[in-house]
Amino acid sequence: MASGQKIFSSLGSFFFPLSCLGCGKGGTSLCNPCARSLPGTRKSPIPGVFSLLDYDDRTVKKALRAFKYRGDREIATVFGELLQKTLAQKIRGDAATILVTIPPGKKRIRAFGFDHMRRIAEYVSSEGLRYEKETLYRTREAPRQADIKKKSDRLKNMEGVFAVRNKDLIKKKQIVLIDDIATTGATLTEAKKALLRAGAKNVYCITIAR
């Protein structure tokens, strides 16, 4: 699967050369000036959730989609660097701090063949923060949140979806929980509840965009 994805990616780059999603410059998915100018968000209306970028921005939206659905590694690195810098500024990490990602559903893995948030987490962990890959798991497959419009229905859809695989790993630990995008915060809220029930000391929720 992985080798097939690399071959497909190489062929795609040959027939459809990369161009910056912001300015159109050739040879890159996101050039340095455009990456540096991605707009941050204002204070989040979702309690307990901090988001890095403004999803209403055209370049942010295109970059997030390229990362989420094509697995663009160049953009994953841009997002990883931004997340790492933000964590260094906002959270005092130590041996008792663990990075956790929202686990993708089985349908997503079948459709795209990869866990996009794991790529960002692995980048951040290479800079020193401990990452536990399979801390959370899904107790059931839920309909996609993107297909549900009402906030109350989104919250209900995610009720009880997450559980912790190994509670001893997170007991009395500080958790940094990351996801790609926050809309109503329903997914993060349920994942945070599961982590706290399992004994986490506290949980910080961060998304790439909102």
| 146 CB-contact burial (10 Å; exposed 0-12 / middle 13-18 / buried 19+) | exposed
Q: Where are the domains of the chain?
A: 35-209
| Helix or strand (DSSP H, E) at 52 | strand 49-53
pLDDT surpasses 60 at 11: no
Q: What are phi and psi of 100, to 5 degrees?
A: -130, 140
Q: What's the mean pLDDT in 16-36?
A: 92
Q: Are strands 174-181 and 97-101 parallel, antiparallel or unpaired?
A: parallel
pTM: 0.87
Q: Which residues pair with 97 in a beta bridge?
A: 174
pLDDT class of 17 with cuts at 50, 70, 90:
low
| 118 CB-contact burial (10 Å; exposed 0-12 / middle 13-18 / buried 19+) | middle
| Alpha carbon 127 to chain centroid, angstroms | 17
| Helix or strand (DSSP H, E) at 12 | helix 2-15
The tens digit of pLDDT for each residue in 73-122 reads: 999 999 999 999 999 888 876 778 999 999 999 888 988 999 999 999 99
In order of 48, 101, 181, the CA distances from 131 in angstroms are 21, 9, 20
Enumerate the H helices of 46-197 as residue ranges: 58-70, 73-90, 106-112, 116-126, 151-158, 167-170, 186-197
Q: What does the block give as tokens for 31? A: 């050039």
The tens digit of pLDDT for each residue in 169-198 reads: 999 999 999 999 999 999 999 999 999 999
Give CA–CA dist 144/196, Å, rounded.
24
Minimal CA–CA distance to 105: which of 49, 161, 34? 161
The tens digit of pLDDT for each residue in 108-167 reads: 898 899 999 999 999 999 878 899 999 999 999 998 898 898 889 998 999 999 999 999
Give CA–CA dist 132/113, Å, rounded.
20
Give CA–CA dist 56/76, Å, rounded.
19
Domain 35-209, architecture per CATH: 3-Layer(aba) Sandwich (3.40)
Higher pLDDT, 37 or 3: 37
Place of tokens 């942010």: 60
